[in-house]
Amino acid sequence: MTAKRNIVTLDGPAGVGKTTLAKRTAQALGIAYLDTGAMFRTLGWKLGADAASLSEAELTARLAAFSFSLSGSGADTVLSVNGTPVGQEIRTEEVGMLASIVAKLPAVRTALKAAQQAMGAATPLVAEGRDMGTVVFPEARCKIFLDASPQERARRRFDQLVAMGETPDLEALTEQIRQRDDQDRNRAIAPLKPAEDAVIVDTTTLDIDGVFNEIMRHVKANA
Ligand code: C5P
């Protein structure tokens, strides 16, 4: 049996609260967090949906121009691309959809998996995304899969976007989240699903403190 690695994985669908909870868990553990959605968002934003029409060789060459790095720890962890911290511009639902489009491409998944595993080899992590427990860190010491109804996730995303000064439409947001779920769950490579050894936490009726306490309970049980 392979040794368990000092990595906590948080996977789950769009809008379930993974980033907030990964940040908080990392802060409590005094380690870094890795927001892998931000990596796919950055590539979606920089390459656009046209990436899907590039040849494998062209896309691989384009991807070589992006280098991701992680610095700091806890809530102060910073993810950078080519030395520049990833900013708020990637946080829209439109960029989320572009991320989901490029996330289906084998060359993109291969490049980001290598970058994510290199970061995990260098430092203990709370790693959040869709395939952290299944594909990228199968040997993680604690795997958690967060879920919630699409309506509840859309409502949470709505609140987040309002806090960022945007004026989202709740119905449109619910539909976008459903589409993105479908795309993430049904793709051929690294689809969104819980690892066999993941603990599933349904957060629909829990507030953020309730979910955080649940996560910490599992983390401690797997220390
Ligand atoms: O989590 P977030 O909404 O930021 O992720 C954006 C998109 O990136 C997801 O909808 C998904 O398609 C993709 N993604 C992925 N694998 C991950 C993280 C994100 O495919 N580990």
Which of these, 122, 130, 137, 134, lies nearest to 5 by C-alpha position?
Answer: 137
Residue 68 · residue 79 · CB < 8 Å:
yes
* Residue 1 predicted with pLDDT over 80: no
Residue type at position 103: A
Total domains in the fold of the chain: 1
- Per-residue pLDDT of 125-157, as tens digits, reads 999 999 999 999 999 999 999 999 999 999 998
Ligand 1 in reach of 37 Cβ (< 6 A): yes
* Residue 4 predicted with pLDDT over 80: no
In whole angstroms, give the CA distance from residue 216 to residue 168: 32
- Pairing mode of beta strands 32-35, 68-71: unpaired
Domain that holds residue 75: 3-221
Predicted local distance difference test score (pLDDT) of residue 203:
95
Q: Residue 36 CA: which ligand 1 atom is closest?
A: 18
Distance 45 CA to ligand 1 centre (A): 13
* Residue 97 predicted with pLDDT over 60: yes
Distance 37 CA to ligand 1 centre (A): 4
Average pLDDT taken over every residue of the chain: 94
Q: Residue 19 CA: which ligand 1 atom is closest?
A: 1
DSSP state string for 118-138: HHHHHS-EEEEESSIIIII-T
Note the Cα 21 to chain centre separation in Å.
11
- Per-residue pLDDT of 146-189, as tens digits, reads 999 999 999 998 998 899 898 999 999 999 999 999 999 999 99
Residue 148 belongs to domain with CATH number: 3.40.50.300
Q: Residue 90 CA: which ligand 1 atom is closest?
A: 4
- Per-residue pLDDT of 23-52, as tens digits, reads 999 999 999 999 999 999 999 999 999 999
Predicted local distance difference test score (pLDDT) of residue 3:
63
Which of these, 70, 47, 194, 185, lies nearest to 125 by C-alpha position?
Answer: 70
Distance 150 CA to ligand 1 centre (A): 16
Work out the pLDDT band at 219, boundaries 50, 70, 90: very high
